[in-house]
């Protein structure tokens, strides 16, 4: 029942396209889900993709458009005439249509608006464009079924029939009062099992959870996830029903948030996939490498300042990677716990000071274990108590510093409304490297008198 | 409309509990969503939580049970008698009930089963326990509305009324043939807008996407996400309808997968939150640190082997952190792209060899840029062309090695059915450190003749 994209399938499809065999191509893609067609487009040349796209019927081409990866959609939008785009938008939900239209140039945007056949939908889309992209308003669609609370069940069913014609599926019916203020939801199930004369007011669920149009998208995601909500109504500042957000859009938000944080911690800027071009991948990876490089050069200068010590005792170099590496590891651990806590809204009620105090205790335990182990092992092959002591005390100090620093930085970034995930990037690691070297060589000077 | 947990609220609630003021406590929690009550339990003592729990009505206590964090639920389950647990399970969907019962000891499990009031539900739960936890069978619930395709719309509505009594909400009606084989879905909307004499067979959507009971949960997540499915039917090997998975359960799977990978890359084992105890946090963090420590000790031994070179030319130590750090950064970049690609199923059709070849090109570009920059800067402060050349060539080699290694390892782990995310942990970084030192000091020996 489910389509699995194979290399063989692709090869046959491409050869049909190259033979200009329209009937065969149609046969290949006719029964596919739009998401599968979009997946095929991701794997083949844009020219081949266009050939297929032109064979699709109106509704399918709209559905494929919204499933496309952003870079491929951009290429499509550039070549399609405004009239064609307008007819695609006409087949989309308002939120998807707004997403597509946002990717157009200003002049093309206007042209497309002029060609939109349904004035009401054009108005809805234009309204949606006013909301910030990462807000509930930017995520919501205006297509929904809303019913006045004073109708009876029978009147309500008639009204739903009327409103539902334009909708793919209905999960909830929203109940509003005479001022369009959201009063509750009406599960379709209740319509099926309630007497026709009953007033909607008396059977609707009034404990409905809603968000404001300006609620941030990550908060929307947290709410829908926490309360297991499939479709969340969005209201304006006085409570009037403006739209609804469905869980599939939120799944994308959750996935994107997680990927963004993952990319940050792995030192990659932007959305990169293994299949992306060499240039695209290089662009996403080089910035962090250059930052790391300059951090490393700075570290080299710091070590260069301790040449006398290194000359007197060359073995000192032995623990440089260990001290630097452990500082990095500990720092990333601490920051990532804070970053995840901020993302999931699970940081609890401890103050920054309490958090740092707790982190200090953890660092002390971890630091004592690690430096104790290092001491036990190092004495065997360095044969020097002072050198062993220098390495161990430095390790303990670095672990404590890196823990506190790794906790403090993301909390501070967040306070200044900067993405706290920045703290898991190369900045922290590089700073820890440098501080680590200062501590280690300082200790060497102090404890070994070199 | 939405509850926001504050410190003040908690304090007042706790003081009411300590005053044994049942009426006041009930007033505090009565209108709360079960997810909010669970959130409160996460912040207060287990004794206080129990006090509240005992005031909840049957349905609320079941809903709270399923929303609790696993460690707190465990504490609750230990103290509740089997009969009490059975009455909680009776109010849960079969998938949630199976999740809870799985956390019990074998003997208590049996006792609970004996107390389950509804024999049919007990059978469903026992069946669900047979499926692997991370499979579609382990995720699905058996509560659903299924309709024979030969019924008419009117008969169908009557049948839904009967079946729906036990369900919270219905999103889809599943259509089966006389052998219970899944034939399609029936959006409720169609029931409202179709003539009563029409046969279900003629209005149902037959292009339904379903999974088998043994489909892995990450694949289920990818399918529901790709096709924007709210409720996915699960069938057995001959296509008989067995249950359905709703998107809210999949949101949890997606979140957990993302968190697992994030924890691995940040060197944390297990589920840790900022609010967890010091002991819990230390336990999750020390294993990776110890692995990193021993990697560092091994690296120290490698550097110790180059004492003559360091003695002859102490400045050699300067670029140790840079070479080690850049190897780590590049390796993590490469592995994380593969790990994400494997998780999202977006690796495409390139063979391992093609992937390595591409990675080599990217590494060459990044390596040439970084080593070129290093060369330009280093000549100014090292005043030695040979030393600068040693550092730059080493950097280039390390970047190339780390890229290929970071690509190869997760792909190989995955081939052997080991979690590829392991490759983003300290193993890769530590190995890169050691190889980096060997390359760097080897180059020093070779190019500088020290």
Across the range B360-381, mean pLDDT stands at 92
The answer, yes or no, to whether residue B16 has pLDDT greater than 80, is: yes
The answer, yes or no, to whether residue B384 has pLDDT greater than 60, is: yes
Q: At what angle do helices B247-265 and B320-344 cross, to 10 degrees?
A: 160
- Count Cβ–Cβ pairs < 8 Å, chain A vs chain B: 382
Under the banding of pLDDT at 50, 70 and 90, the label for residue B437 is: very high
Question: Given this model, what pLDDT does residue A241 score?
Answer: 94
Inter-chain touch A365–B188, beta carbons under 8 Å: no
Inter-chain touch B293–A374, beta carbons under 8 Å: yes
Question: Given this model, what pLDDT does residue B2 score?
Answer: 67
Q: What is the pLDDT of residues B308-326, one digit of tens each?
A: 888 888 888 999 999 998 9
DSSP E strand stretches across B197-335: 211-212, 231-235, 241-246
The answer, yes or no, to whether residue A213 has pLDDT greater than 90, is: yes
Burial B23-51 (b: 16+ CB within 10 A, else e): eebeebbeebbbbbbbbbbbbbeeebbeb
The answer, yes or no, to whether residue A1 has pLDDT greater than 60, is: no
Comparing alpha-carbon positions, the chain A residue that sits nearest to B156 is A192
The answer, yes or no, to whether residue B380 has pLDDT greater than 70, is: yes
Under the banding of pLDDT at 50, 70 and 90, the label for residue B166 is: low
The answer, yes or no, to whether residue B217 has pLDDT greater than 60, is: yes
The answer, yes or no, to whether residue B74 has pLDDT greater than 90, is: no
Residues 6+ apart with CB under 8 A from B169: A187, A189
The answer, yes or no, to whether residue B121 has pLDDT greater than 60, is: yes
The answer, yes or no, to whether residue B210 has pLDDT greater than 90, is: yes
Question: Given this model, what pLDDT does residue A168 score?
Answer: 64
Query: CA of A107 to nearest chain B CA: how many angstroms apart?
Result: 32
Full set of structural domains in chain A with CATH: 7-134 (1.25.60.10), 146-246 (3.10.580.10), 278-448 (1.10.357.20)
| Residue A360 burial (C-beta neighbours within 10 Å; 0-12, 13-18, 19+) | middle
Nearest to A285 among B299, B314, B366 (CB): B366
Give rounded-to-5 percent helix, strand, coil for chain A: 70, 10, 25
Higher pLDDT, A33 or A426: A33
- Which of A5, A321, A430, A450 has the highest number of chain B CBs within 10 A, making it the mutation to test binding with B? A321
Mean pLDDT score of chain A: 87
Question: Given this model, what pLDDT does residue A169 score?
Answer: 67
Gap between the Cα atoms of B401 and B381, Å rounded? 27
Gap between the Cα atoms of B268 and A335, Å rounded? 11
Nearest to B266 among A265, A307, A373 (CB): A265
The answer, yes or no, to whether residue B297 has pLDDT greater than 80, is: yes
The answer, yes or no, to whether residue B190 has pLDDT greater than 90, is: no
In sign, the C-alpha dihedral spanning A333, A335, A338, A343 is negative
Across the range A240-250, mean pLDDT stands at 90
Inter-chain touch B299–A307, beta carbons under 8 Å: no
Across the range A26-34, mean pLDDT stands at 86
Q: What is the pLDDT of residues A33-46, one digit of tens each?
A: 888 999 898 888 88
The answer, yes or no, to whether residue B149 has pLDDT greater than 60, is: yes
| CA–CA distances in Å: residue A149 to residues A173, A181, A185, A232 | 11, 10, 10, 19
The answer, yes or no, to whether residue B39 has pLDDT greater than 80, is: yes
pTM over 0.80: yes
Q: Which of A1-15, A22-36, A219-233, B283-297 has the lowest mean pLDDT?
A: A1-15
Gap between the Cα atoms of B88 and B60, Å rounded? 9
Question: Given this model, what pLDDT does residue A448 score?
Answer: 81
């Amino acid at each position: 029942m489910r389509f699995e994209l194979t290399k063989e399938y692709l090869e046959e499809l491409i050869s049909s396209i190259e033979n200009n065999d329209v009937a065969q191509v149609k046969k290949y893609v006719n029964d596919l889900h739009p998401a599968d067609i979009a997946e095929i487009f991701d794997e083949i040349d844009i020219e081949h993709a266009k050939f297929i796209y032109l064979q699709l019927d109106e509704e399918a081409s709209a559905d494929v458009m919204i499933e496309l990866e952003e870079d491929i959609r951009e290429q499509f939008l550039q070549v399609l005439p405004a009239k064609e785009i307008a007819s695609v938008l006409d087949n989309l939900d308002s939120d998807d249509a707004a997403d597509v239209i946002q990717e157009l140039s200003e002049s093309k945007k206007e042209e497309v608006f002029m060609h939109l056949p349904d004035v009401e939908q054009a108005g809805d889309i234009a309204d949606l464009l006013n909301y910030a992209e990462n807000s509930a308003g930017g995520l919501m669609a205006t297509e929904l079924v809303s019913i006045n609370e004073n109708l009876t069940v029978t009147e309500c069913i008639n009204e739903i029939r009327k409103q539902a014609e334009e909708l793919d599926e209905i999960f909830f019916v929203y109940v509003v009062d005479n001022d369009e203020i959201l009063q509750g939801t009406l599960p379709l199930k209740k319509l099926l099992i309630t007497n026709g004369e009953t007033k909607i007011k008396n059977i609707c669920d009034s404990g409905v959870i809603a968000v404001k149009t300006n609620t941030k998208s990550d908060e929307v995601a947290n709410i829908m996830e926490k309360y297991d909500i499939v479709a969340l109504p969005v209201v304006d500042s006085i409570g009037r029903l403006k739209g609804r957000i469905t869980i599939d859009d939120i799944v994308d938000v959750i996935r994107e948030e997680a990927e963004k944080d993952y990319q940050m911690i792995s030192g990659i800027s932007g959305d990169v996939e293994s299949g992306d071009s060499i240039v695209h991948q290089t662009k996403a990876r080089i910035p962090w490498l250059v930052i790391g490089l300059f951090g490393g050069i700075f570290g080299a200068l710091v070590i260069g300042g301790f040449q006398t010590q290194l000359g007197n005792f060359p073995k000192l170099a032995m623990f440089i990677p260990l001290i630097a590496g452990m500082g990095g590891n500990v720092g990333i651990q601490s920051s990532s716990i804070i970053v995840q806590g901020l993302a999931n809204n699970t940081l609890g009620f401890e103050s920054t000071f309490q958090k740092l105090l707790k982190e200090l205790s953890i660092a002390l335990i971890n630091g004592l274990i690690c430096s104790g182990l290092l001491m036990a092992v190092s004495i065997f092959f360095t044969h020097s108590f002072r050198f062993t002591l220098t390495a161990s005390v430095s390790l303990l100090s670095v672990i404590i510093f890196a823990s506190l620093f790794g906790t403090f930085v993301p909390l501070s970034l967040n306070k200044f409304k900067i993405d706290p995930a920045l703290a898991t990037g190369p900045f922290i690691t590089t700073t820890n490297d440098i501080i680590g070297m200062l501590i280690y060589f300082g200790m060497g000077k102090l404890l070994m008198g070199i």
